[in-house]
Amino acid sequence: MMFHGVNGEFRWLEATGQTLADVLRICPEVVAGKNLVITLFDGGPLELTPRQTEQGWRLLDSVVHVPKVENPATLPTSSCDEWYIFPATPANQDFEVFVAYPWFTLGPTGAVKAQPNTRWDLKKLQRIFWQDMETMEPETYMACSNRLIFVTRNADNFSKVLRGVSAALKQAGGDGFSTPKQAS
C-alpha cells in the first residue's frame, strides 16, 4: 500500500514493504553530498565507530550529525531509522523522533491501526511534524519502521523515488495506491 501527497513545498509518500536502503538504491542523490542527521538507528541512538568519528561524524545528545555524505551505499540502515537531510550544515537544534510512534503516518488517520485515543494524538503529531519541517528546513526527511516515510522539497528526487517505489510495489503484486487530500 502506498499513499502520497503534498504539504506546502513538501511532497511526501508512505509505502509498506520499502526501506531507507531501497530509497538509497533508487535515488542516492537524496543524500549524496549532503549533511545527514540520524535521530534514530535500529530503534535507538547510533553508536559511532572510530572510523565514523575520524570521518567527522559527531554525536550531540543522542543525535548523529554526518557531514557531506560521500558514498550513500556505506550509510548504516536498519529496520527502524529516522533521517533529516540538509544541503548545508544544520544548526544545532532539537529533533523530534516521529517514527518512535508506530502509528505515526502523514496519511489519513484511518491509514494505520490506531490504538484507542490515538487519532487525536496523530493529528497533533502531524501538525508538529509539518511545523518542524517548515522551521528546520531540511531538504528531505526519511524514516522507516513498519512503513517508509519519504518527504522532500526536491521535486526531481521525489519523482525518482515515487517511480521506483511504485515499480517495486507493482513487482511485488501490491497495486494499492492512494492519494489523500493535501494535509493541513
Task: Please give the distance of CA 91 from its chain centroid, rounded to a whole number.
Answer: 19
Cα 98 from Cα 146, distance rounded (Å): 13
Q: What is the pLDDT along the chain (184 residues), one digit of tens a residue?
A: 888 999 999 999 999 989 999 999 999 999 999 999 999 999 888 999 999 999 999 999 889 999 999 999 999 998 889 999 999 999 888 898 998 888 889 987 665 555 555 556 888 899 999 999 999 999 999 999 889 999 999 999 999 999 999 998 888 775 444 444 444 4
Q: Which residue has the cell 565507530?
A: 49
Can you give the pLDDT at residue 114? 54
Cα 86 from Cα 137, distance rounded (Å): 8
What pTM, to 2 d.p., does this model score?
A: 0.88
Query: Cβ(7)–Cβ(150) under 8 Å?
Result: no
Residues with Cβ within 8 Å of residue 12, at least 6 apart in sequence: 4, 5, 6, 106, 149, 150, 151, 152
Indicate left, alpha or beta for 87 from its phi (over 0: left) and psi (-120 to 50: alpha).
Answer: alpha
**Quick one: DSSP state of residue 93?**
-
Can you give the pLDDT at residue 112? 55
Q: Which residue has the cell 548523529?
A: 64
Phi, psi of 79 (to 5 degrees): -90, -10
The strand pairing partners of 179, in sequence order, are none
Can you give the pLDDT at residue 111? 56
